[in-house]
Chains A and B, each alone.
Chain A
């Protein structure tokens, strides 16, 4: 099973993306978002990025989605829409799944596909590897770079997050 772990996680990832993109009620969308976040974290972990994967769990799932879950629980409607209760949502979900399936079959048929550049076989499709990463873990080097010569990026990202909060407060003030 371990050889296919990334493949299984990716399949669950794509299916849960289709699940919340078909727009059920936010509480169910949040549920599927948790699943997709967890599975995405698993994919990052499978490629050796342990720090970043656990960051996703901690901050994204444990911080942002918790707040999202509480706010949607406060604002929930009397009869929330789940995938089986509304034909539109079910239809969108099935269309999403079918288009993903068609894309996969298109790739598997010829064993080569060209969208912007040539994918050759399952190897290129699964991992796009531009070169060898040497002896250092890439994700640790990236995080270290952020705090050494990436100072401007930290400033800009921090300011954007602050502005995000201020803008959302301002927009939802509504008087």
Chain B
């Protein structure tokens, strides 16, 4: 893509999300969502193969439908409350519809079907933007309307997303699909706590974005999109193998790593609100996710995966790919746990 066009379109993606974040008028929020969606389509279609076209079309159709639902519910809110300000939504019909529209944009179950297919059809760098930056805007709106969101609806979506993300990712060998199901699960965790303590949802989003960015960057560095190509990492980039181990275990939410912070805080907050069965179910379904993360860890860093002999002897060249920000991302995605008491400042 022509560099000038690429810069313009990337900056429009950022501008769209910024408009959603700093607008107080519902119409401008809708405009921000549309600008964001329109500008990310050519980024998804960087490669001109039919798979990428199909993925972009699917993304466009689902996001456009969600935007239409959002507009309808904004107008219903206008009819019932009389103003365009973003605040809690008094009308239950409008509140439910806004929640459904935003969860369609996020990829929460039962609107999760587009996430694996779109993520698989596009390149790794586009998938990175799709799964991290695009989640910021809908979650910020959910944060702003969280006092009036129907908690039954959101909790139902959250638990089904965790189940779908866990079971769906089990049979995958393609890394992009694994990360898509991981995204569905993490969105489920964020939705679950949004009703009770929305600050923790933002915390979860921050840590999830750092971990997912780090993971995508490691995969892009070795250009690996399947488990098999990831298993050659021990020979291609020996330093990457333990880094992938740490990031995968952090994504799975294991204790000495940062991925445990949101899960711990969320379960603590849910139990403070007298919910026992829900956090238990959430913790148990997190095991499904942990299984496929540890499977990736196993094939990458813990065993020599079966490979042809010529893959075991490689010329070790100096890498020319830029690893911008990879080191800080890995450090923040794995070593933030001792700083958890600082989170008391978030209140």
**Minimum CB distance partner of A117 in chain B:** B79
A116 and B38 form a contact (CB under 8 A): no
B41 and A163 form a contact (CB under 8 A): no
Is the C-beta of A170 less than 8 angstroms from some C-beta in chain B? Answer: yes
Q: Mark A150-165, 1 if CB is under 8 A from B, else 0.
A: 0001001101100110
A159 and B79 form a contact (CB under 8 A): no
Question: For B28, what are the chain A residues with a Cβ–Cβ distance below 8 Å?
Answer: 153, 156
A160 and B35 form a contact (CB under 8 A): yes
B42 and A167 form a contact (CB under 8 A): yes
CB distance from B74 to the nearest CB of A (A): 12
Q: Mark B35-58, 1 if CB is under 8 A from A, else 0.
A: 100110110010010000000100
A160 and B31 form a contact (CB under 8 A): yes
Is the C-beta of A2 less than 8 angstroms from some C-beta in chain B? Answer: no
Question: For A123, what are the chain B residues with a Cβ–Cβ distance below 8 Å?
Answer: none
Question: For A153, what are the chain B residues with a Cβ–Cβ distance below 8 Å?
Answer: 28
Question: For A116, what are the chain B residues with a Cβ–Cβ distance below 8 Å?
Answer: 76, 79-80, 91, 93
Question: For B48, what are the chain A residues with a Cβ–Cβ distance below 8 Å?
Answer: 173-175
CB distance from B60 to the nearest CB of A (A): 10
**Minimum CB distance partner of B44 in chain A:** A171
Choice from B9, B34, B35 contacting A170 with Cβ under 8 Å: B9
Is the C-beta of B8 less than 8 angstroms from some C-beta in chain A? Answer: yes
**Minimum CB distance partner of B93 in chain A:** A116
Q: Mark A129-163, 1 if CB is under 8 A from B, else 0.
A: 00000000000000000000000010011011001
B34 and A166 form a contact (CB under 8 A): no
Q: Mark B14-47, 1 if CB is under 8 A from A, else 0.
A: 0100010000000010010011001101100100
Question: For A167, what are the chain B residues with a Cβ–Cβ distance below 8 Å?
Answer: 9, 38-39, 41-42
Question: For A157, what are the chain B residues with a Cβ–Cβ distance below 8 Å?
Answer: 31
**Minimum CB distance partner of A170 in chain B:** B42
Is the C-beta of B344 less than 8 angstroms from some C-beta in chain A? Answer: no
The dominant DSSP class at the B interface is: helix
Known: A163-B9, A167-B9, A170-B9. A156 touches B19 (CB 8 A): yes
Tally inter-chain residue pairs, CB-CB below 8 A: 47
CB distance from B189 to the nearest CB of A (A): 33
B42 and A171 form a contact (CB under 8 A): yes
A170 and B79 form a contact (CB under 8 A): no
CB distance from B249 to the nearest CB of A (A): 39
CB distance from A78 to the nearest CB of B (A): 24
Choice from B19, B38, B79, B80 contacting A163 with Cβ under 8 Å: B38
Question: For B19, what are the chain A residues with a Cβ–Cβ distance below 8 Å?
Answer: 156
Of A117, A164, A166, the most chain B CB neighbours within 10 A belong to: A166
Of B1, B42, B79, B80, the most chain A CB neighbours within 10 A belong to: B42
Is the C-beta of B339 less than 8 angstroms from some C-beta in chain A? Answer: no
A163 and B8 form a contact (CB under 8 A): yes
Question: For A163, what are the chain B residues with a Cβ–Cβ distance below 8 Å?
Answer: 8-9, 12, 35, 38-39
CB distance from B98 to the nearest CB of A (A): 14
Question: For A171, what are the chain B residues with a Cβ–Cβ distance below 8 Å?
Answer: 41-42, 45, 56
CB distance from B31 to the nearest CB of A (A): 6
Question: For A173, what are the chain B residues with a Cβ–Cβ distance below 8 Å?
Answer: 48
14 sampled A-B residue pairs with Cβ under 8 A: A116-B76, A117-B80, A156-B31, A159-B12, A159-B35, A160-B35, A163-B8, A163-B12, A163-B38, A167-B38, A167-B39, A170-B1, A170-B5, A170-B9
Q: Can you list the 6 inter-chain pairs with the closest CB atoms, starting with the nearest?
A: A170-B42, A163-B12, A116-B76, A160-B35, A174-B48, A167-B42
